[in-house]
């Protein structure tokens, strides 16, 4: 599942930009927008910054009580 692989990358390399994750996964940033939004809405990740300078980090609690459907 793309969202799970994306979450693993965020945990491995917190603070990276979307372009780093898209290069690693062989997807465009546009293709990762949906899974990234689902991870954020589920509370598994948090963001810092705006627009093309947004950096992604795992949440402190990891959204342990959330389920992901993306």
Residue 64 confidence (pLDDT): 53
CATH code assigned at 37 = 1.10.10.10
pTM of the model: 0.82
Residue 62 confidence (pLDDT): 58
Q: What is the C-alpha to C-alpha distance for residues 22 and 44, in angstroms, rounded to an integer?
A: 19
Q: Which residue range forms the structural domain that includes residue 40?
A: 2-58
Q: Is residue 65 part of a domain?
A: no
Q: How many domains does the chain divide into?
A: 1
Q: What is the C-alpha to C-alpha distance for residues 17 and 27, in angstroms, rounded to an integer?
A: 14
Residues 26-51 have a mean pLDDT of: 95
Residue 66 confidence (pLDDT): 47
Q: Is residue 68 part of a domain?
A: no
Q: Is residue 66 part of a domain?
A: no
Q: Is residue 49 part of a domain?
A: yes
Q: Is residue 51 part of a domain?
A: yes
Residues 37-47 have a mean pLDDT of: 96
């Amino acid at each position: 599942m793309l969202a799970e692989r994306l979450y693993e990358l965020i945990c491995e390399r917190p603070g990276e930009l979307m372009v780093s994750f898209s290069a690693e996964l062989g997807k465009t940033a546009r293709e990762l927008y949906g899974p990234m939004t689902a991870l954020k809405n589920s509370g598994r990740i948090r963001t810092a910054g705006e627009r093309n300078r947004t950096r992604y980090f795992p949440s402190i609690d990891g959204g342990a009580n959330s389920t992901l459907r993306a």
